Chains A and B, each alone.
Chain A
Amino acid sequence: EAGVVQSPRYKIIEKKQPVAFWCNPISGHNTLYWYRQNLGQGPELLIRYENEEAVDDSQLPKDRFSAERLKGVDSTLKIQPAELGDSAVYLCASSLGRTGGQETQYFGPGTRLLVL
């Protein structure tokens, strides 16, 4: 069974440029999460989807970040414009979503973003 797929794996951009990350969750997983992990820290949630609906985006900096999950499968996270402080690892995770979020979350390899 394929795991969570993310692309690109690495991205280097200059500040004020836009950037987008893509995630394909495990087949059949209804819940999709985007986390951000700063160096030396644990991941922190940016947004959570149940199918195509964003049910928790309270930690998403909406002035520059946007996300979508069309058809309840793949998801894209966008930053426009990027700032130096956005340099981090962006992790996508998925879970079945049938037990109210109590099941195991499976993580992708992450996208490492460096903003210069």
Chain B
Amino acid sequence: KQEVTQIPAALSVPEGENLVLNCSFTDSAIYNLQWFRQDPGKGLTSLLLIQSSQREQTSGRLNASLDKSSGRSTLYIAASQPGDSATYLCAVNQAGTALIFGKGTTLSVSS
């Protein structure tokens, strides 16, 4: 059974710092991996989707990498801002079905 783990569970950084969020999964047979952002009391916003054949995806200050063979993905946030404060969820798509999520990393960026 696929399991997705996110470390750390919570992270606090000062504004301007670069940071990395980690995601690991136990079964490398995935179609893709998706990173989401969830603000308190809100739904999920898709940030980046990496297909299994890709190594990384970039969007603005965000860069996500995927190492399928080792079962790892990282989300790199450059020059963090208070508006980046949210919970970041990693999810893998296995066999083209539903997403399997980690528990998330709650990020707090202080000004």
Contacts and interface: CB of A to CB of B under 8 A. Distances in A.
Interface of A: 4, 6, 33, 35, 40-45, 48, 56, 91, 93, 99-110, 112
B103 A41 contact: yes
A42 B102 contact: yes
Interface band, chain B: 20 to 34
A101 B97 contact: yes
Q: Name the prevailing secondary structure of the A interface residues.
A: loop
Nearest to A33: B98
A40 B103 contact: yes
B44 to A, nearest CB: 4
A102 B93 contact: yes
A6 B43 CA distance: 10
B32 A109 contact: no
A109 to B, nearest CB: 4
B96 A91 contact: no
B46 A105 contact: yes
A102 B51 contact: yes
Contact of B97 (A43, A56, A104): A56
